[in-house]
Amino acid sequence: MSKRKTLPHLTKRGRELVSYVLNATAFGTHGDDAELETMAAKFRTTAGRLRVTLRKLESQGWLTIEGRSAGFVYPTVAAIRAMNPNIEKAEAESTLRRLHPQVKLPPRND
């Protein structure tokens, strides 16, 4: 069994954002719902303010942001596994590759 990356505790807002991105991934609406401007509208804030919070979550290992102006937000393998402990690392990686074929995944340690 591989070691899991330990992620820091989420704030209420962080939990809302990570859950939103994970749900969009699980329900297959990621392409529509996980774009920065769409998320800003959903959370009733500006894209600039939301980006600050998303960057914090990215630095903590919860999310990945791709693109500068019209950014898309992706969960990390660690975030998927933290929210669903029964999922295997390979399955989480496969989910991310379906969303974004060029996603940069951490090296495998198995």
pTM for the predicted model, two decimal places? 0.82
Question: pLDDT grade, residue 1 (50/70/90)?
Answer: very low
Q: What is the pLDDT of residues 35-80, one digit of tens each?
A: 999 999 999 999 999 999 999 999 999 999 987 766 889 999 999 9
User: Does domain 12-99 fall into CATH 1.10.10.10?
Assistant: yes
3-state secondary structure the chain: CCCCCCCCCCCHHHHHHHHHHHHHHHCCCHHHHCEHHHHHHHCCCCHHHHHHHHHHHHHHCCEEEECCCCCEEEECHHHHHHHCCCCCHHHHHHHHHHHCCCCCCCCCCC
Domain ranges of the chain: 12-99
Q: What is the pLDDT of residues 80-98, one digit of tens each?
A: 999 888 999 899 888 888 8
